[in-house]
Every structure is written in structure tokens, then in C-alpha cells.
């Protein structure tokens, strides 16, 4: 077993009630390094009894945490943010080792994790209600109250940041949390939970129960004492999560991926268009829900754009994330096989790729950065989420066709527009069916900007001031004065 410096334990337990403990039946899961395929460590695999214990602990802790003054919750979240920053180097190394992403990307995600706790520390004491004028004789007002115990199912692609994205606003609003990290990447979540406890978060407020990707998550979402479920992942699993949550009449928030279009108009800066395309699709080896996996370029500039794009992609370095290349490995052998199947689909329906198109014949789960050109918008690789370093390029003739093709998908997470024409930018942004539109920069915005999807890309919004309301219920109080 590889014992990397940032992975301190040969075996990690569950984190429940402020302590590390083994699973009820002693079972564990193995966490691999995607760059080598070798084992990094083992982690306890939560049973149904473990999940029930974590939920019970969270419910008990919520009685005190929910009654804590908002300004005190704010100070605690600020302390957590500071602890994350103090341990940023180690957390980034953990993210790289268990996920595989380039180290610079991991460092950025850790910074965003800390910023998220900092941001919602600022929101904790600003959950203000409204006064509703009902006329003489009445005083009417609203109050935001915590929901209770919140469940968070976190994916493997951006594990530390996505942990913070839902947990921070939930805690800020006065809820307690039980987190089920992905079985491939549990160490970051366990480490942040321990740091939160050391920073002053009361025991039991934040609990982490790693386990089987399907079984442990299902046990958590089906638990009758869960009051809210937040899930990021595939559409198929998201539907099951939603059914489970609805059966318990719970709040549910889903972020289910996308097939996000980037529209390149003739007046776009050609260098920037290529730069943003490459960043949008090959960050984290394309394992990003909001990846720019589908480019639509105006036919007049297609040839020049594609030539520049091919040159840029062929120049990308690929290697272990710890060496900080441009592109790291995929997360697992299973996922490498899935992406490989899409490469074959592309060959069968489109032809040989312009660039790339194969897995590397070496240890680890590496796939070449790949571009398919002249792709029909209705083909499988243009419609289905590959979730890997695979880009499709198609063309359009005018603005209306660009919008039509962009919207011709069941997803609607994000979209991008490359143009120097301000009027066009606003027109197209208005007409695109996406929860977030980037203009002249992919991944624009940050922790402060609402993020979520239209259509099958999900329900609800993360980030920004809107997200904290995911974790509150609204009470109206009407007082007759006479």
C-alpha cells in the first residue's frame, strides 16, 4: 500500500459525534491513487446502523446548534475557513492523490472550500424576515428557521469544494449535517470534518459516513429523520434520490450534470476562444458537470478555430496530478472504461477524432485529450454526458441556429458565448436554456454566483445568497393586537 505524506492513516474511520470510529461490521473500502491504480488507504464502510447513529447524533446536536446565536455560528464558520487555509497544502495534496487532478487545480478547489465557509459565515446573521402590512390591528412577520438534519451526497470529481458548497450554508442556517462522500474520494471530507471540530464546531453537528456509492447513499436519503437532501451526481441516481426524499416529504436539491454548449461567433477573439474551450473541457480531465463539452462554432471561422484548437490540445501535458500537468488521470478504471466506450461511439458515428481518442498504455487511468469535429448535434456524443476529456465540435450559420442547437438537449446547466458584440451577448444569454451563462470566459463567477440547472440538470441553486435558503423553512407569524 502506498503511504503518501498527506494520507496520514493506513485506515480511516467514520466521523460521528466528533470521534473517528470503525464501521459497525468492521468492513472497509479501498481508496486508490488514479495516477497509479495502487491503494492509498482504507476507509470504514458505513452500515445502516452507522447511518442511523449519525442521523440520531445530528438530531441531538441540532437542538443546541439551531438555538446558537447567528453571530456565534458566523464566528465558528470563519474559524473553519481559517483552519482550512492553514492546512491548505495538505488538503490539496489529498485532493490530488485521491481524485487525480493536477495539483494547481486542487489548490484552487481548497481555496474555494475555505471561501465558501467564509462566505456563509457572512450570511449566517443576515437571515432576516419580512414585515407584511395587514393594516391596523395586526402585526405580521416572517422568520427563517433551520430545517433540522440535512443529508449531503458528495461526488468524487471536486470532492472538497462540493463538500463545502452544501455543508457551509446548511450549518450557517442552523442545521446539522450528515455527509456521504464518494467512495473514491472520502479522505478530504473526513479531514475537513476533523478540522471543523478542532476549529470549534460542536460535536455531532457535522458527521461523515463513507460507504458504498449506492447503498450508503440510499440508506441516508431514506432515513425518516432526514429533513433535507442535497445530491450532486448522475441523473439516474438523482431520480432515485428525489423519489426517496419525496416519499419522506423532504426538501431535495439536485445538481445532475450537463452537456454544456460553448458558442463561438465570428467576431470572437480567436485566441481567447481556443483558450476558454481548452480550459472548459480539459480542467479536471473533463470530469466537471459544467464542462464545455460541446462547441458550436460559426461556419465562417470553423476551419481557423479548429486548427488553433488542435494545436492547443496536442500541446497539453498529461500525467500524475501531483506533477501538476495540464491534464491528470480519470478517477477510476471503471470510469476510464466508460469514457473509452464513448470514444468508440464517436468513431462509429463521426469518424476518427481530430486529436486524441485513446487510453494511454501505462499505469493509471489516463485518456488522451480528444476532439471530434463535424459532429451532428443529435449524435450520442453530442447529447450524452461523457464526463471525460472528450470535446465535440459542430457548426452553425446564424444566431438563431446557434441558440436552437445549444438548447437542443435535455440538459441546461451552463452555456457559454464568445463574442465581442455586447448586444449579441445579452440576446443570446437571454435565449439560452441554462442556469448560468458565461460570456467570454468559461467558469466565470465564483462562490457568490448562483449555480444550478434548467431541465434535467437539476432542482434548486447552490452558491450565492440563494443557497442558504435551501436550508431554511419559512414561518409566518400574524398577531391580532386588540
- The C-alpha cell of 44 is what? 470504514
Per the annotation, the verdict on 478 as an active-site residue is no
Q: Count of CB atoms within 10 A of residue 246's CB? A: 11
The active-site residue, picked from 289, 368, 385, 462, is 289
Contact of 355 with 371, CB cutoff 8 Å = yes
Per the annotation, the verdict on 255 as an active-site residue is yes
Contact of 46 with 210, CB cutoff 8 Å = yes
Q: Count of CB atoms within 10 A of residue 11's CB? A: 12
Buried b (16+ CB within 10 A) or exposed e, 113-143: bbbbbbbbbebbeebeeeeeeeeeeeeeeee
Long-range CB contact pairs, 8-12, < 8 A, 24+: 9/41, 10/41, 10/42, 11/41, 11/42, 11/43, 11/44, 12/41, 12/42, 12/43, 12/44, 12/186, 12/187, 12/190, 12/210
With CA atoms as reference, report the closest residue to 160 among 101, 75, 228: 101
The active-site residue, picked from 98, 118, 183, 255, is 255
Please list the active-site residues: 255, 289
Amino acid at each position: 500500500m502506498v503511504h503518501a505524506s498527506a494520507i496520514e492513516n493506513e485506515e480511516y474511520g467514520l466521523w460521528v459525534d466528533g470521534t473517528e470510529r470503525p464501521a459497525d461490521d468492521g468492513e472497509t473500502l479501498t481508496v486508490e491513487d488514479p495516477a497509479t491504480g495502487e491503494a492509498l488507504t482504507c476507509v470504514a464502510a458505513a452500515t445502516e446502523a452507522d447511518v442511523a447513529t449519525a442521523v440520531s447524533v445530528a438530531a441531538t446536536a441540532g437542538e443546541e446548534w439551531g438555538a446558537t446565536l447567528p453571530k456565534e455560528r458566523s464566528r465558528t464558520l470563519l474559524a473553519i475557513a481559517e483552519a482550512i487555509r492553514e492546512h491548505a497544502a495538505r488538503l490539496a495534496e489529498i485532493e490530488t492523490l485521491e481524485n487525480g487532478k493536477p495539483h494547481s487545480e486542487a489548490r484552487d478547489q481548497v481555496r474555494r472550500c475555505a471561501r465558501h465557509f467564509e462566505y456563509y459565515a457572512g450570511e449566517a446573521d443576515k437571515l432576516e424576515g419580512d414585515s407584511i402590512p395587514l393594516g391596523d390591528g395586526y402585526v405580521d412577520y416572517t422568520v427563517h428557521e433551520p430545517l433540522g438534519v440535512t443529508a449531503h451526497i458528495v461526488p468524487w470529481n471536486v470532492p472538497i469544494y462540493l463538500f463545502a458548497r452544501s455543508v457551509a450554508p446548511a450549518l450557517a442556517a442552523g442545521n446539522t449535517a450528515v455527509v456521504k462522500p464518494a467512495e473514491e474520494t472520502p479522505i478530504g471530507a473526513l479531514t475537513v470534518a476533523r478540522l471543523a471540530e478542532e476549529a470549534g464546531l460542536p460535536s455531532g453537528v457535522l458527521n461523515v459516513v463513507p460507504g458504498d456509492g449506492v447503498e450508503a447513499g440510499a440508506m441516508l436519503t431514506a432515513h425518516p429523520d432526514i429533513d433535507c437532501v442535497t445530491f450532486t451526481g448522475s441523473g439516474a441516481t438523482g431520480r432515485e434520490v428525489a423519489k426517496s426524499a419525496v416519499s419522506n416529504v423532504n426538501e431535495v436539491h439536485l445538481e445532475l450534470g450537463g452537456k454544456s454548449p460553448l458558442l463561438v461567433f465570428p467576431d470572437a477573439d480567436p485566441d481567447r476562444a481556443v483558450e476558454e474551450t481548452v480550459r472548459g473541457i480539459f480542467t479536471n480531465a473533463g470530469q466537471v458537470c459544467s464542462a464545455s463539452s460541446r462547441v458550436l462554432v460559426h461556419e465562417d471561422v470553423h476551419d481557423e478555430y479548429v486548427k488553433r484548437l488542435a494545436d492547443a490540445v496536442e500541446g497539453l501535458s498529461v500525467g500524475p496530478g501531483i506533477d501538476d500537468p495540464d491534464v491528470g488521470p480519470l478517477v477510476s478504471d471503471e470510469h476510464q472504461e466508460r469514457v473509452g466506450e464513448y470514444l468508440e461511439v464517436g468513431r462509429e458515428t463521426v469518424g476518427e477524432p481530430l486529436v486524441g481518442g485513446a487510453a494511454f498504455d501505462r499505469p493509471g487511468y489516463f485518456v488522451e485529450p480528444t476532439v471530434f469535429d463535424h459532429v451532428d448535434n443529435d449524435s450520442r456524443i453530442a447529447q450524452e454526458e461523457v464526463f471525460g476529456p472528450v470535446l465535440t465540435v459542430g457548426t452553425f450559420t446564424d444566431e438563431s441556429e446557434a441558440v436552437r442547437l445549444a438548447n437542443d438537449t435535455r440538459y441546461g446547466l451552463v452555456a457559454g458565448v464568445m463574442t465581442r458584440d455586447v448586444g449579441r451577448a445579452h440576446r443570446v444569454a437571454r435565449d439560452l436554456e441554462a442556469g448560468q451563462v458565461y460570456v467570454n470566459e468559461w467558469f466565470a463567477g465564483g462562490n457568490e454566483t448562483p449555480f444550478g440547472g434548467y431541465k434535467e440538470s437539476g432542482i434548486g441553486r447552490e452558491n450565492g445568497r440563494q443557497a442558504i435558503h435551501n436550508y431554511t423553512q419559512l414561518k409566518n407569524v400574524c398577531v391580532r393586537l386588540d
